[in-house]
């Protein structure tokens, strides 16, 4: 990686501003899933063990331009203290005299968690003055929030104009290495498995990947727009009429480049999302009054065969409405197929992660990205502000 990393920073006696993504779900005033918190622990321990103190910052939820107790990071501080096995006090704010005094009083080996950055609208505006206040809290900067790296926010981009050096944390490094392995030096064949509801969410991704992958496998709701582009009648299945030409162009681009593009050949259909039972039909036989809610068994077999031949796999998006038991079979089968494939696999996106956890195969995936939007934008070939802002390695 061409960016400066935390291992190369002289940390002893320094105050380190660590931007993390601690945007964890809360239930009953407590963190209900600490996955994102646990992901940043190695970076925090590295800094603390090296003799640094840590000023830790994150957003939580979408408060509407001011402090809101519902979005306080207090439950996050409490859970972090358990994971780190040391106190994690919460500052009253992320800027201001009281917070600055707390930061300046930090002793080596101690952590201070700032209150929610988004309590200040200047954070999302990438405001330079706000970024300057954040920069006053520390001696150097570490970004370990890859999941937020696609946001040009003050604590991610503007702060690096005032706080140098700016290095990648351990989680950021792992994310960039895993995704870079897909785009820059994949072992081939490289297969992309894409699902989810809408083509519009993944137009740029499909267009970018067609020029890089050996095979593209498309399921989920987005597949029906492609099937419509081929002239199939798809009943009441999800379709984006304005994207039919886009899908047709993608199919043609794949044909020209010799990229194998696989679409469903059968589907599990039902009257609606509330149905307790589905039935399997060919994609040319979907009744006008029904909708496709999962890939069928023949499609599952075909998709699995493509994955079995892959040496590198990237997966984003479920194959159907897997939250509903009658329509989970295809997605869970793909989770097992990805886990059993001999190649290196990378998955990203909340639904995809939920699917591999539901299937019980998370420990057999090569790399599970903590990111959603940043994961997709990186794979689209876009420059991420949070990565671009980091100091170049010498």
What DSSP string describes 188-257? SSEEEEE-SS-STTTHHHHHHHHTT-SEEEE-STTHHHHHHHTT---TT----GGGHHHHHHHHHHHHHH
Mean pLDDT of 138-163: 97
Burial 224-254 (b: 16+ CB within 10 A, else e): bbbbbbeebebbbbbbbeebbebbbebbeeb
Angle at 46 between CA 41 and CA 51, to 5 degrees: 125
Query: Residue 316: which pLDDT band, with cuts at 50, 70 and 90?
Result: very high
Q: Give the mean pLDDT of 14-39.
A: 95
User: Taking 80 as the threshold, does the pLDDT of residue 156 lie above it?
Assistant: yes
Per-residue pLDDT tens for 87-110?
A: 999 999 999 999 999 999 999 999
What's the pLDDT tens digit per position in 230-249?
999 999 999 999 999 999 99
pLDDT digit string, tens, across residues 62-92? 998 899 999 999 999 999 999 999 999 999 9
Give kind and range of the element (H or E) at residue 307: helix 297-308
Going by pLDDT thresholds of 50, 70 and 90, the confidence category of residue 380 is confident
350 versus 288: the higher-pLDDT residue is: 288
> Which pLDDT value is given to residue 302?
98
Single out the catalytic residue among 181, 198, 236, 298.
198
Q: Is the pTM of this model over 0.85?
A: yes
pLDDT tens-digit readout, 252-271: 999 999 999 999 999 999 99
In this prediction, residue 170 has a pLDDT band, given cuts at 50, 70 and 90, of very high
**Domains contained in the chain, CATH given:** 6-172 (3.40.50.1260), 186-379 (3.40.50.1260)
Q: Does 350 qualify as catalytic in the annotation?
A: yes
**pLDDT tier at 2, thresholds 50, 70, 90:** confident
pLDDT band at 229 (very low <50, low <70, confident <90, very high): very high
Q: Which of 36, 79, 174, 228 is catalytic?
A: 36
Query: Residue 36 catalytic?
Result: yes
pLDDT of residue 1: 56
- 211 in active site: no
- Return phi, psi of residue 103, to 5°: -65, -45
Catalytic choice (364, 373, 381, 382): 373
């Amino acid at each position: 990686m061409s960016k400066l990393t935390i291992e190369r920073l002289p940390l002893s006696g320094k105050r380190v501003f660590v931007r993390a993504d601690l945007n964890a779900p809360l239930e009953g005033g407590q963190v209900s899933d600490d996955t994102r918190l646990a992901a940043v622990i190695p970076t925090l321990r590295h800094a603390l063990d090296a003799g640094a103190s840590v000023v830790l910052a994150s957003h939580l939820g979408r408060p509407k331009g001011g402090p809101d107790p519902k979005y306080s990071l207090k439950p996050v501080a409490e859970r972090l203290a358990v994971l780190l096995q040391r106190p994690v006090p919460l500052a009253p704010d992320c800027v201001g005299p009281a917070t600055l005094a707390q930061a300046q009083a930090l002793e080596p080996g101690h952590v201070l968690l700032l209150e929610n950055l988004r309590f200040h609208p200047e954070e999302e505006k990438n405001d330079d003055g706000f970024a300057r206040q954040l920069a006053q809290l520390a001696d150097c900067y570490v970004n370990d929030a890859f999941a937020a790296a696609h946001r040009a926010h003050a604590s991610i981009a503007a702060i690096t104009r005032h706080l140098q050096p700016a290095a990648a944390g351990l989680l950021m490094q792992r994310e960039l290495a895993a995704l870079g392995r897909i785009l820059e030096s994949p072992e081939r064949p490289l297969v992309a498995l894409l699902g989810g509801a809408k083509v519009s969410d993944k137009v740029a991704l499909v267009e970018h990947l067609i020029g890089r992958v050996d095979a593209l496998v498309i399921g989920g709701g987005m597949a029906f727009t492609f099937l419509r582009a081929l002239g199939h009648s798809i009943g009441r299945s999800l379709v984006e009429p304005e994207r039919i030409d886009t899908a047709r162009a993608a199919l043609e681009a794949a044909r020209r480049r010799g990229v194998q593009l696989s679409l469903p050949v059968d589907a599990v259909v039902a009257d609606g999302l509330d149905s307790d039972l589905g039935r399997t039909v060919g994609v040319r036989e979907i009744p006008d009054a029904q909708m496709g809610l999962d890939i069928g068994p023949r499609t599952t077999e075909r998709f699995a065969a493509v994955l079995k031949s892959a040496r590198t796999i990237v997966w984003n998006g479920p194959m159907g409405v897997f939250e509903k038991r009658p329509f989970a079979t295809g997605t869970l089968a793909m989770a097992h197929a990805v886990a059993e494939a001999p190649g290196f696999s990378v998955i990203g996106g909340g639904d995809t992660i939920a699917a591999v956890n539901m299937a019980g195969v998370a420990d057999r995936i090569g790399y599970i990205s903590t990111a959603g939007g940043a994961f997709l934008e990186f794979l689209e070939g876009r420059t991420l502000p949070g990565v671009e802002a980091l100091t170049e390695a010498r």
